[in-house]
Amino acid sequence: MNISTQAVQIGLEWDTRTGAVSVPIYQTATFRHPGLGQSTGYDYSRSGNPTRQSLEDGMARLDNGARAFAYSSGMAAIANLLLLFRSGDHLVVTEDLYGGTCRLFDKVFNQFGLTFSYVDTSDVEAVRAALTPRTRAVFAESLTNPLLKFADIPALSTLCRDRDLLLIVDNTFLTPYLLRPLDLGADIAVYSASKYLAGHNDTIAGLVVVKDAELAERVYYHQNAAGTVLGPQDSWLVMRGIKTLGVRLDRQQENAAKIAGWLKNHPAIAKVYYPGLEDHPGHALVKRDSRGFGAMIAFEVATHALVEQVLLKTRLISFAESLGGVESLITFPEVQTHADIPLELRARLGINNTLLRLSVGIEDGSDLIEDLNQALEA
């Protein structure tokens, strides 16, 4: 079955008693027991809620995993995964990582004895060189935020398997609709479900999909113990969003390809990062492993003065945090999403004071180009 069809069908099998097409929102903290020592399968909503489970079951199918887990945010999902490790363990992670993930690693979990090495995870040999006897996992973004480098997941999975390491892939930018990390050898896929999966800029959520049932039991133990679960209302919103994932991403990618090509030829644009462009370093690899190139674009304007001009002059494209929703959004990574990355690392990576990140929405592509064009005019 095509994944777009699977996405539309999420939750349809759930309510066999009434046949409800939309999964009910079980807004309850606790569940009545039918008798002493008996359970309906649900006892307390931190441990399991029918609405959340419907989302988790559907997401496991979409990503071809053993189990999935829904969290109160993408950061909560990553934090919960770090509970798999112990003081003294080492992880190799993507260097141009989302700033919030970097903050979580270096400012929170570092104080508990976890250590992290930042490397270009699109370079397998760089990852290999960073491994130590204490390394327990590689954490890579499939398509990095914001520079859109692409990880060779099959090669990384071979490296990790040979060393008995976990491979965790943040697949937020591509989603299972375009890329299934577990099919390519990853052990765990993690998502900020606030982005493309929910798709409407109206909820905060995180999702984790685990390939192996035994590892999934460990992840569930930590989810339940720490209580970082997604509530039933937000679980329902994410499911509603997933139903239109295919049609949304098809339109967003179509728009992104047009805009990237237009930006590349604009005199006020110094550089464009988009994997759908043939001169992008990861273009061939993305084409090999993914069903599409995504709908995120990063670009450098010719001068720093143009940054504020573009951010304040766009009319359709909102100057706002986040990405992946139906509305187009633009941000300035250096002072917004990636401010927690050390200055010297930002400079080396190219996250500079002329770089803008554009999340392309489902508006008419020509209208978005017109909006950018008027914002770039002096």
3-state secondary structure of 209: strand
* 279 given a catalytic annotation: no
Among 170, 234, 289, 371, the active-site one is 170
- Crossing angle of the two packed helices 74-82 and 213-226, in degrees rounded to 10: 110
C-alpha 191/C-alpha 177 separation (Å) is 13
* 221 given a catalytic annotation: no
Among 15, 46, 264, 287, the active-site one is 46
The 10 Å Cβ neighbour count of residue 119 is: 19
Residue 146, preceding bond cis, omega within 30 degrees? yes
Q: Tell me the C-alpha to C-alpha distance, in Å, between residue 331 and each of 318, 354, 360.
A: 9, 11, 12
Among 63, 71, 96, 98, the active-site one is 98
The 10 Å Cβ neighbour count of residue 217 is: 12
Among 67, 195, 211, 357, the active-site one is 195
Q: Tell me the C-alpha to C-alpha distance, in Å, between residue 360 and each of 21, 24, 169, 231, 318.
A: 30, 32, 23, 28, 11
Geometric angle at alpha carbon 203, from 201 and 209, rounded to 5°: 105
Residue carrying structure tokens 């479900």: 193
* 170 given a catalytic annotation: yes
Q: Tell me the C-alpha to C-alpha distance, in Å, between residue 322 and each of 29, 187, 218, 277, 337.
A: 30, 26, 30, 23, 8
Residue carrying structure tokens 């692409």: 150
- Residue 260's region, left for phi above 0, alpha for psi from -120 to 50, else beta, is alpha
Q: What are phi and psi of 239, to 5 degrees?
A: -60, -45
* 46 given a catalytic annotation: yes
Question: Which active-site residues does the annotation give?
Answer: 46, 98, 170, 195
